[in-house]
Chains A and B, each alone.
Chain A
Amino acid sequence: MTASSTLRAVLKQPSGVVGVALVVAHVTMALVAPMIVPHNPTLQSAGAILQAPSWTHPFGTDRLGRDLLSRALLGGREAMLIATLSTVAAMLWGAMLGLFVALQGGRTDAYVMRIVDAMVSIPWVLMVMIFVAALGVGARALIPVLGFSYGLSVVYIARAAALDFVARDFVLAAQARGERRVTILWREILPNVRDTLAVQGAMQWSWILLGISSLSFLGLGVAPPAPDWGLMIADGRGIMQAAPWTVLWPMAMLSSLIVGVNLAADAIAKALGVDRTFGVAAP
């Protein structure tokens, strides 16, 4: 299926339209927000703390008097950038290893998958926390860490998808011709599992985004005072009672983006005829 016909099939579904619209709106906003935000997102103003939404501050202000509209509009940029780079890393190493062990089979496959099984059994939050404890906090440290830990589930998906093809005649024929393994993976197997991997990539992006926000919320992700939705929610949680707007806006922004990505991924999966998995890959 070509890209444009896939897009058409996605937009035929109501949930696909909503999902794609939400994602496009968020990405556009992330790109243009620095040019249009009304206030400096990190500028503190002692005279304007915890103001309810008004004309000067449509979303209100937080406990340091910072404008919440500006912070809410900018709050997804860093997380989205880290999520994108981590997703690329996760898909690259996960897919390569998964496809390779599927083609190789035998002992290599068994040993590698046992190790992957063991690593999967440690919750990702904990795995990330082990790395953060040793390496220190920071966006640059997060990308390899998230890319690695989320890539584990890609290994399962890629391997399972490739297993359907490794025993087919065209792969056997390529092996009989004496093609190199890299060529077989690239030319014979990859085109067949492309759709599955594309859907998986979209899902990974939303999971990683969720992961970064959770880490920021715990104080292990994006560092303050940068505007970030997870940080903003953590920041406003103690004063929710007096100023619920401090948490409601970032919640709405984060949720709409994540729900949008999931709806879009669901619609893409349906359009491509891929069985959407939940990240729970049966070993």
Chain B
Amino acid sequence: MPRKIAGRLAAAWITLVVIAVVVFVGVELMPGDACTAHLGRDAARAEMLTACRDRMGLDRPPVERFALWAADLAHGDLGVSMKRERPILGIVGPRARNTLILAGAAALAGVPLAILLGFLCGLRREGPFDIVTSTVALVAMTMPEFVVASLLILIFAIWLGWSTGVVTAAYDAPALTLLLATPLPAITLALVYIAHILRMVRSSVIDTVGADFVLMARMKGVPERRIVLRHILPNAILPSISLIGLTLAWLLSGVVIVESVFNYPGIGRLAVNAVADRDLPLIQAIALLFGLFYVLTTLVSDLVAMALNPRLRSLRG
């Protein structure tokens, strides 16, 4: 078991390093560089371009720049934004906190609900509850986030007047203010999560219900309640846990859209602004941060799955 955890940690570390390389090489392969993107039409003026490249150290060979960039990263220095001319860490930090508040609220409310619904659907497969829930889930997971978000604003903010449509809090507002602003954005995010996880848990439960050990328990006369709670539940949920982590990480794209629609001051909206400003160092840093978040989410869910799985727990090595 300890060796397994160490292996998983090492794999996460390697993935992070590869992500850093991919982000760097990806930006490197594209025509132009941070300076031509930043200057736009002014890039034609050679002296401005040279001055900018000189300032950014872009005149050095790529390998040397990567080494410098990576060394800075290792110290927690993400570089300097082209447009804002401030250290990126200070720009990204508070907004990353805001995104975590939003994504955390969505996950904490959504994941248990999704597991519960998926479990009920799987137990009563093809029953009326399952058919209705599964159909709604299919629609929810296929609807684009920006459509769901606009629809929610139209219904809850404009027609019913229950909440404000867009978030007006500043990026450095206290955490509680932001948390109070999250219901609509969090619901939009959670709808997609819930639908995906529900379908995964449902099919996992269906597989488990048909397993031999459940049949055996029934034949032994184990009470139905006990079969459901002790035999089906753990065996159906366990394989879903690492998939849940993967889904949460995979659906991070939604954060970018949802934050833009609701004007939520998080890292996703920052990414859209950075693209509009053609601020390559900032975009690079955000991409890296998303990568880090992905690696951490999948790592945590894998570790949780390991901790809960008695088969893995008893293994030596």
Q: Residue A255 at the B interface, CB < 8 A?
A: yes
Contact A218 B257 (CB under 8 A): yes
Known A126-B271, A251-B150, A266-B138; contact A121-B294, beta-carbon cutoff 8 A: yes
Residues of A within 8 A of B271 (CB): 125-126, 129
Q: Given contacts A121-B291, A133-B283, is CB(A233)–CB(B146) below 8 Å? A: yes
Give the interface centre of A115, A135, A214, A247 by most chain B CB atoms within 10 Å.
A214
- By size class, the interface of chain A is 35 or more
In angstroms, Cα B274 to Cα A35, docked, is 41
With contacts A131-B30, A133-B278, A240-B158 taken as known, whether A123 is within 8 angstroms of B146 at the C-beta atoms is no
A237 at the interface (CB under 8 A from B): yes
CB-contacts of A209-256 with B (<8 A): 210, 213-214, 217-220, 230, 233-234, 237, 240-241, 244, 247, 251, 254-255
A-facing residues in B204-226 (Cβ within 8 Å) = none
| A260 CB, min distance to chain B CBs, angstroms | 9
A132 — which chain B residues lie within 8 A by C-beta?
Answer: 275
Cβ of A125 and Cβ of B253 under 8 Å apart? yes
Instruction: Tell me whether A254 and B144 are in contact in the complex, defined as CB-CB below 8 angstroms, given that A125-B257, A130-B283 are known contacts.
Output: yes
Are A247 and B154 in contact, CB atoms less than 8 angstroms apart? yes
A176 at the interface (CB under 8 A from B): no
> Does A258 reach chain B (CB closer than 8 Å)?
yes
Chain B positions within 8 Å of A167 at CB level = none
B31, A134: Cβ atoms under 8 Å?
yes
Query: Would A280 and B247 be within 8 Å (CB), given that A118-B15, A122-B291, A240-B154 are in contact?
Result: yes
B287 engages A126 (CB within 8 Å): yes
Given the complex, which residues of B lie within 8 Å of A240, measured CB to CB?
A: 150, 153-154, 158
Interface residue B26 (Cβ < 8 Å from any Cβ of A): yes
Q: Select from chain B the residue with minimum beta-carbon distance to A242.
A: B158
- In the assembled complex, 23 residue pairs joining A and B whose CB atoms fall closer than 8 Å, in A order, are A115-B18, A121-B295, A122-B22, A122-B287, A125-B253, A125-B256, A125-B271, A126-B287, A127-B287, A129-B272, A130-B30, A130-B284, A132-B275, A133-B283, A135-B30, A217-B144, A233-B150, A244-B154, A251-B151, A279-B250, A280-B243, A282-B243, A282-B246
Chain A residues with CB under 8 A of B22: 115, 118-119, 122
Asked if A109 is at the interface (CB within 8 A of a chain B CB), the reply is no
> Whole-angstrom distance between the alpha carbons of A130 and B274 in the complex?
10
B95 within 8 A of partner (CB): no
| Nearest CB of chain B from residue A263's CB, rounded to whole Å | 7
9 closest A-B pairs (Cβ-Cβ)?
A: A118-B18, A123-B253, A134-B30, A121-B294, A125-B253, A129-B275, A118-B19, A125-B256, A262-B142
In the assembled complex, which residues on chain A have CB atoms less than 8 Å from the CB atom of B147?
233, 251, 254-255
B32 touches A134 (CB 8 A): yes
B31's contact among A127, A135, A217, A247, by CB below 8 Å, is which? A135
Interface of B is mostly: helix
Interface residues of B in 284-310 (CB under 8 A from A): 284, 286-287, 290-291, 294-295
Task: Report chain B residues within 8 Å CB of A165.
Answer: none
Interfacial chain A residues near B243, Cβ < 8 Å? 280, 282
Q: How far apart sit A246 and B123, CA to CA, in the bound complex (Å)?
A: 43
What is the CB-to-nearest-CB distance from A246 to chain B, in angstroms, rounded to a whole number? 11
A244 contact set on B, CB distance < 8 A: 154, 158
Decide: A133 and B146 in contact? CB cutoff 8 A.
no
Number of A-B residue pairs having CB atoms within 8 Å of each other in the complex: 149
Check B246–A280 contact: CB distance below 8 A.
yes
Question: Which residues on the B side are within 8 Å of A254 (C-beta)?
Answer: 144, 147
Select from chain A the residue with minimum beta-carbon distance to B246: A280
The answer to whether B143 has its CB under 8 Å from any CB of chain A is yes
Q: Mark B11-26, 1 if CB is under 8 A from A, else 0.
A: 0001100110111001
List chain B residues, Cβ under 8 A from A247.
150, 154
Could you mark each residue 174-212 of chain A with 1 if its beta carbon is under 8 Å from any beta carbon of chain B, else 0?
A: 000000000000000000000000000000001000100
Contact call B15/A126, Cβ cutoff below 8 A: no
B284 / chain A contacts, CB cutoff of 8 Å: 130
For the complex, is B200 an interface residue (Cβ under 8 Å from A)? yes
Return A52 CB to nearest CB of chain B, in Å: 16
Query: A171 in the interface, Cβ–Cβ < 8 Å?
Result: no
A115-B18, A117-B15, A131-B30 given; A123·B196 CB < 8 A: no
Cβ contacts B221-252/A at 8 Å (1 or 0 each): 00000000000000000000011001101101
CB pair B257–A130 under 8 Å, yes or no, is no
Assess the B32–A114 pair: CB atoms within 8 A.
Answer: no
Judge whether A27 is part of the interface by a CB distance below 8 angstroms.
no
Chain B residues in 8 Å Cβ range of A213: 144, 146
